[in-house]
Structure 1
Amino acid sequence: MNILILGATGRVGSHILKSTLNDNYHVKVLVRDVDKLRIKDRNLTVIEGNVLVEADIVNAIAGMDMVISALGTDGTTTLSESMPSIVKVMEDEGIKRIITIGTAGILNSRTEPGKLRYQSNESKRRTTRAAKEHHKVYELLENSSLDWTIICPTYLPDGEHTSRYRIERDFLPENGKMISVPDTAEFAYRQIEDDGYIKARAGIAY
């Protein structure tokens, strides 16, 4: 299987990249700065480019079977600005499967039905900027023809790899407070071969 990973130099994306290469998937990454990528592997193709440039996305997606996006918000609108082109190119190329990393803020609220968590009294965040970015991506994917899965971690420290966590479809598991980066990456990686959360948000927490 040929997999494109976006955000491969980030906290979650770097863990996903290692897992895919360890299992001998053929992986392509699109990065702005190739010097940030320390990994070298015979199954890894590195393309220098920008997710905000549609031609770079076309080049990166060509020949792929699926896309994993671990793009973050990082105080920018890169996520919401790049995803329309990513979805368009995938649909044009007939590539259906995309796995993305979102945030627990875009899961359904338990306390205020009809709202997302970031819109409700469940949210403890001082700012909703990042959640609004992820909400735009969620709406875009929901209205697309793609087989999407959005992994939605709550508070995300680097932490340890435990393989012990709870998952709930479209909601954050009850009293979920945190989930480590390695465990979030592990669950995202499992979705490559698992179709249990297609066209769904997956809340993840301990």
Structure 2
Amino acid sequence: MKLCILGATGRVGQYFTKMALQDEIRVSALLRDPEKLPHSILSQISFTKGDVLSKESVTEAMAGCDVVFSGLSTDGANVLSEGMPIIIEAMKKEGISRIITIGTAGILQSRTEPHLLRYQSSESKRKLTRAAEDHQKAFTQLQESGLNWTIVCPTYLPDGEPTGTYRTEKDVLPIDGSKISTGDTAHFAFSLLRKNDFPASRVGIAY
């Protein structure tokens, strides 16, 4: 298997990349700033220097890959919603059908108001919704893409090593879920590489 990783320098992306290398999976990463990745990781992967808003860079990074993982954040702008159409187009060009991404619990369905997403409902304590809105746009783009996608949606995301012990639930956040570490979010996302659980689904994850 050859894996294209977007967002490899991020908090979840670095854990995911380490797991792939430990599993002897070939990794091709798209890196805006390669120096942000420890040399111990950088020396084991192939990479394209560029960003997700460059069609040429994205297509180059995906060449010969079987699966795409994206740990991209909104980055204070509209990176997800502007980059996702480029990612989808490049995947189709390269004949890649499977993508696993990291989203936010805000785009899961609300339990108290099921017709709303969590960020739109009283469940959300966040006053600023810009990031969730950008995640929602990317979610909609994946829904319409015809690809085999899964969006892993963590709630409060402190740094932490993977334990392998957590709860997941399709489309909603597990009851009373309040946090999940970066390591365990990567652990669950990585587990999806070997099985086709949660196709075309959002998945809430929490302890």
SS in 2 for 1:12: helix
CA deviation after TM superposition for structure 1 residue 74, in Å? 2.6
TM-score of the superposition, structure 1-length normalised? 0.96
Aligned to 2:71: 70
SS in 1 for 2:93: helix
Q: Which moved more, 1:86-95 or 1:176-185?
A: 86-95
Aligned to 1:59: 60
Q: Which moved more, 1:35-44 or 1:67-76?
A: 35-44
8 A Cα contact 2:161 2:183, kept in partner: yes
| Aligned length, in residue pairs | 206
Aligned to 2:34: 34
SS in 2 for 1:155: coil
8 A Cα contact 1:24 1:43, kept in partner: no
8 A Cα contact 1:49 1:56, kept in partner: yes
CA deviation after TM superposition for structure 1 residue 122, in Å? 0.7
**Unpaired runs of 5+ in structure 1?**
none
Distance 1:23 1:42, change over 3 A: farther
TM-score of the superposition, structure 2-length normalised? 0.96
8 A Cα contact 2:47 2:61, kept in partner: no
Aligned to 1:17: 17
Identity of aligned residues (%): 52
8 A Cα contact 2:150 2:198, kept in partner: yes
Q: Which moved more, 1:53-62 or 1:9-18?
A: 53-62
CA RMSD in angstroms, aligned pairs only: 1.2
CA distance in structure 1 between the partners assigned to 2:125 and 2:150 by the alignment: 25
CA distance in structure 2 between the partners assigned to 1:56 and 1:197 by the alignment: 29
SS in 2 for 1:168: strand
CA deviation after TM superposition for structure 1 residue 40, in Å? 4.1
**Unpaired runs of 5+ in structure 2?**
none
CA deviation after TM superposition for structure 1 residue 76, in Å? 1.6
Aligned to 2:108: 107
Q: Which moved more, 1:16-25 or 1:53-62?
A: 53-62
Q: How does 1:74-153 map to 2 (within 5 A)?
A: 74-153=75-154
CA deviation after TM superposition for structure 1 residue 80, in Å? 1.3
Q: Which moved more, 1:48-57 or 1:36-45?
A: 36-45
